[in-house]
Amino acid sequence: MTMVYDALILPFIEFAFMQRALAGAIMLSLSACPVGVFLTLRRMSLTGDAMAHAILPGAAAGFLFYGLEIVPMTIGGLIVGILVALGAGAVARLTVQKEDASMAAFYLISLSLGVLMVSLRGSSVDLMHVLFGTVLALNNDALILIALVSLLTLGMLGIFWRALVAECMDPLFLRSVSRLGSPVHFIFLGLVVTNLVAGFQALGTLLAVGLMILPAAAARFWTQQVAVMCFLAIAIGLVSSVGGLLLSYHVSLPSGPSIMLSAGVFYLVSVVASPRGLLLSRLPRAVHRAA
């Protein structure tokens, strides 16, 4: 019993940096995982990944002028993220190019530009910090930002829940019966950007989307009900965060990738062993053929 306590609980009691990392990961799971569910239902997972990279130039601009200060990097990331989302949407609507191609183009330009901007002033350590985050080094300002984003996200999801679900299932029907169709789409994109900006403080621009997508993708194998899917994604995100932090602490591994790998284990188990996974979904067919 003592060994279990020392391994699972003591690190979060003894060290303040582990407590802050756990608090940040919990709040990110509460807000980012439900947003990830709607991303996967809309088949926009890769769009979320592109948006995560697109905020890099804004964060890099804040870093160039103010260093690793949370407020300038956050404001820069928000501004650039919104501009990229609007720019990619405008290209898709006004030209022959599809939205996925325009988003990919903006993503590649943004990622390259952001890396160059960080490299102009910072070292390789600063670049790694921006790209991969430092969840074990979260300060009070970062936790306040993550808390505000979590509260905003949960509040907006509660207000626009029905419209968000309806747009996932049949966006044309929603636009025909309600004026909320287009506004809800942009509100949702705003939630994606704000959660990515909050997430890059802990996980970096390359991994921020992971906590949004992996738990949601895993949860989708277990249920078809959106509300249950959101709660399950949050649970997977919470367990993955705790497991990743403990793995990082005990084995001296980078914290962000450890959290993502923990979530990846849940995803792979869901792919194989869930009711809608590879094994159980094929079992009735095999039994039927044998009969």
> What CA–CA distance (Å, rounded) separates 28 from 228?
18
Phi–psi pair at 62, nearest 5 degrees: -60, -40
Lowest-confidence pick of 49-58, 110-119, 156-165, 277-286: 277-286
pLDDT per residue over 200-242, tens digit each?
777 776 677 888 889 999 999 998 899 999 999 999 999 999 9
| Mean pLDDT (whole number) for 134-162 | 86
How does pLDDT run across 29-43, given as a tens digit for each residue? 999 999 999 988 887
Instruction: Write down the pLDDT at residue 180.
Output: 67
Q: pLDDT tens digit string along 7-18?
A: 788 888 888 888
Instruction: Report pLDDT for 190.
Output: 84
pLDDT at residue 99, rounded to an integer: 67
Is the pLDDT score of 20 beyond 80? yes
Provide the token pair at 163. Answer: 């419209």
pLDDT for residue 62 is more than 50: yes
**pLDDT reading at 154 higher than 60:** yes
Instruction: Round to whole Å and give the CA distance between 83 and 13.
Output: 42
Q: Report, as an integer, the average pLDDT of 95-101.
A: 71
Tens digits of residue pLDDT in 174-206: 666 667 666 787 888 888 888 888 887 777 766
Per CATH, which fold does 2-290 belong to?
A: ABC transporter involved in vitamin B12 uptake, BtuC (1.10.3470)
The full DSSP string for the chain is -HHHHHHHTHHHHH-HHHHHHHHHHHHHHHHHHHHHHHHHHTT-HHHHHHHHHHTHHHHHHHHHHHSS-HHHHHHHHHHHHHHHHHHHHHHHHHSSS-HHHHHHHHHHHHHHHHHHHHHHHS-HHHHHHHHH--GGG--HHHHHHHHHHHHHHHHHHHHSHHHHHHHHH-HHHHHHH-TTHHHHHHHHHHHHHHHHHHHHHHHHHHHTTHHHHHHHHHHTTT-S-HHHHHHHHHHHHHHHHHHHHHHHHHHT--HHHHHHHHHHHHHHHHHHHSTTSTTTTTHHHHHHHH-
pLDDT at res. 173 = 64
Residue 256 has a pLDDT of 82
Q: Which residues of 112-136 are buried (b: 16+ CB within 10 A; e: fewer)?
A: ebbbebbeeebeeebbbbbbbbbbb
235 vs 233: CA distance, rounded Å: 5
The pLDDT, as a whole number, for residue 290 is: 46
Residue spans of the domains in the chain: they are 2-290
Confidence grade of residue 131 (pLDDT, cut at 50, 70, 90): low
pLDDT for residue 67 is more than 80: no
CA distance 28 to 184: 22
